[in-house]
Amino acid sequence: MRNGSANRMYRTQEFAELASVTVRALHHYDRLDLLKPRRTDAGYRLYGVRDLERLEQIVALKFLGLSLKQIKALLEREKLELSAALRMQRKVLEQRRSLLDRAIRAIREAESAVKPGRQTDAAVLKKIIEVIEMQDNTDWMLKYHTPEARQKVEARRQLWSPELQERVSKQWAGLMAEVETALGEDPAGPRVQALAERWIKLVEEFTGGDQEIAAGVRRLYADQANWPAGFQQQAKPFMNPEVWTLMQKAIAIRKASAT
């Protein structure tokens, strides 16, 4: 839109053409109080530049999968300026692009692994599923973090691949098995302390040593009763309470001795 038209008002049909939406959509947004135009004395709708900015936010958020009810609540709560709305939309799209890139890589590898006329390898399908589930798992976990920590978690998630997830899962499984063999031993003893050191390093591989992220992880662990059923099933092999109790005691001893 040219600078000279900043104060221009548009009737519904020409505004719909300008914004590349249907008149029906504009009427629907009006009925929902999502996009309220001005009215002439004769009752005709009039739209301006601010309406175009709000419509851009509506269309973009709708594209991201939000319902119109959610969009209305978000815009009313945040009173977003266009620049802030664009920034938020860009961040969400970048996160989705990262997931799509991972999924594309997994499918490309699956294409290479699957031979024509041969039965599909279950491991190939499992890898694709892991890419999708990895995103689902980390999304709901974000609620345990502060807004500042969420940004850090998102940044670290960009570096987290299915291959890395598989390696870390194997390391955790191996460590948990070793700790189980040490149950009943002195948490201050050298063997348990060595296991605690490995435990801390694995935690820090996810948190990056960031205390805000670590605090969110602790809140996550404390809220096991409200974990999604699918994640509870995945985490079950890693949730032996005796193992966690021993490691908590050993780590507390390490911290006390370091002060």
Cα–Cα dist 2/198, whole Å:
62
Question: What pTM, to 2 d.p., does this model score?
Answer: 0.48
Which two three-digit tokens encode residue 102?
């991972």
Say whether both 117 and 226 belong to one domain. yes
Decide if 223 contacts 151 (C-beta within 8 A): no
List, as one string, the DSSP characters of 6-74. Answer: TT--B-HHHHHHHHT--HHHHHHHHHTTSS--EE-TT--EEB-HHHHHHHHHHHHHHHTT--HHHHHHH
Total number of domains in the chain: 2
Say whether both 60 and 157 belong to one domain. no
Choose the most confident range, by mean pLDDT, from 1-5, 183-187, 205-209, 237-241: 183-187
User: Which tens digit of pLDDT belongs to each residue from 146-183?
Assistant: 877 887 887 777 677 667 777 888 899 899 999 999 99
> Is residue 68, in this structure, part of any structural domain at all?
yes
Say whether both 62 and 117 belong to one domain. no
Q: Which pLDDT does position 78 carry in this prediction?
A: 57
Say whether both 139 and 33 belong to one domain. no
Domain span including residue 72:
8-80
> Is residue 118, in this structure, part of any structural domain at all?
yes
User: Which tens digit of pLDDT belongs to each residue from 100-121?
Assistant: 776 677 667 666 666 565 555 5
Say whether both 133 and 60 belong to one domain. no
Say whether both 73 and 110 belong to one domain. no
Say whether both 157 and 217 belong to one domain. yes
